Structure 1
Amino acid sequence: MENFLEEKIENGERVSPILPENVKNYLIDIDGTICDDIPNEEPERMLTAEVYPDALETLNKWYDEGHIITFFTSRTEEHREYTEIWLKKHGFKYHGLLMGKPRGGNYHWVDNHLVKATRYNGKFTDLVEKSVSIQVFDDGKH
C-alpha cells in the first residue's frame, strides 16, 4: 500500500502519511457484512458461508476504481487460512486482511485521522452524502 501514500509535512515536521484525496481506505467487516454471520465458535462454517453478491460486486468495483480494500474482522489469527481461502474462492479483490477486531460492536473509534463510519444494514450500494450528528472532543468552546 505504500505507493498510495503521500508524504505530509506540517510545521517542518513529518506527520503520518495521507492518501490522495480521490482514494478511499475502506475497512470492511466480513461476517454479517459480506457474507452469512459466522461466529468464531463455529469455524467449520466459514468455508461454506454464503456470499452477499452486492458486497462482492461493490467492493470489487471500489478496488478497480483504485480504492484500498482491507477486511477487518473479529475472526482470530487461527481463522486466517479459512478466511483467505473463502475470499479467494469468491473472487474478492483486496489489499489486506486484519484479524482480531474487538467483538461486540458498538465501537467508538478514536484516531488522529478523520474516520468515517458506515453501518451496514443489509445491502451494499454506492455511498451517498448524508448529514448526521456525531460526538467530538470538547474544544472548550461549547
Structure 2
Amino acid sequence: MSDELLRKAKVGEESISPVLPEDVKNYLIDIDGTITEDVPNEEPERMATCKAFPDALATVNRWYDKGHRICFFTSRTEEHREVTEKWLAENGFKYHSLLMGKPRGGNYHWIDNHLVRATRYKGKFTDLVEKKVTIEVFEE
C-alpha cells in the first residue's frame, strides 16, 4: 500500500481520514499484558524497562510490513506518552499511531457502522485464524 493512500487528504481547510483498501486491516492493539508484561499506571517506573514479548514483536511488525495499519491503544495516561513511544522505538515495534487513556477494565464493547473483529490475547501472539464463536449483537 502506498503512502499516498494513507496520507490525509485536504478538502478546503478540513482534513479527512484516509480510506483503506479492503485488504488492509486496521489493528488496534493494547500494550500492557498484550505485547509486554502487565505494567499498571501506578508503577510507571517499570514502563521503561519491561520486556517485549518476542512473538508479539514479530507478529505486529509482520502485519505492519504487509501494509496493515497498527495503532496501539493503551490505558497508560498521556503523561506516559514519552516513555511509551521511547519503549516502542527501543524494542523495534513498527506502528502508525498511539492512543493513550483507554479506560481500564475488561468489558469492552465497540459499536461501529463498520465490521469490527475482536480477539482476546491469552498468552500467545500469532497470526489470526478463523473460528466460529457466539457473539452479542443488536436485536434485528
Distance in structure 1 (CA, Å) of the matches to 2:22 and 2:63: 15
Q: What corresponds to 2:52 in structure 1?
A: 51
Partner Cα distance (2:69, 2:118) in 1: 15
| Alignment deviations for residues 99-141 of structure 1 (CA, whole Å, 9 cap, x no partner) | 01111122111112111000000011111111111111111xx
After TM superposition, the score normalised by the length of structure 1 is: 0.86
Runs of 4+ in 1 over 6 A off after TM superposition: none
Partner of 1:124: 125
Aligned to 1:74, what secondary structure does the other structure show? coil
Is 1:31 aligned to residue 32 of structure 2?
A: yes
Q: CA deviation at 1:96?
A: 0.2
Measure, in 1, the Cα distance between the counterparts of 2:106 and 2:69: 23
SS, match of residue 47 in structure 1:
coil
Would you say the 8 A contact 1:4–1:20 is kept in 2?
no
Contact 2:5/2:18, CA 8 A, preserved across alignment: no
Q: CA deviation at 1:4?
A: 3.7
After superposition, the CA RMSD in angstroms is 1.9
User: Structure 2 matches for 1:105-124, cutoff 5 A?
Assistant: 105-124=106-125
TM-score, length of structure 2 as denominator length: 0.87
- CA gap of 1:79–1:2, structure 2 versus 1, over 3 A, is farther
Q: Which residue of 1 aligns with 2:10?
A: none
Q: Take 2:34 and 2:74, find their aligned partners in 1: how far apart are those partners?
A: 10
Larger Rg: 1
Query: CA 1:2–1:114 in structure 2 vs 1: closer, same or farther (change >3 Å)?
Result: farther
Gaps of 5+ in 1: 6-15
Q: Which residue number in structure 1 is paired with residue 93 of structure 2? A: 92
* CA deviation map 1:67-95 (0-9, x unaligned): 00000000000000000010000010000
Distance 1:105 1:2 in 2: 37
Paired residues, number: 130
- Tell me whether 1:136 sits opposite 2:137 in the alignment: yes
Question: Structure 2: how far apart are the matches of 1:131 and 1:105?
Answer: 22
- Where does residue 21 of structure 1 map in the other structure? 22
Measured in 2, the distance between the counterparts of 1:107 and 1:33 equals 15
**Identity over aligned pairs, percent:** 74
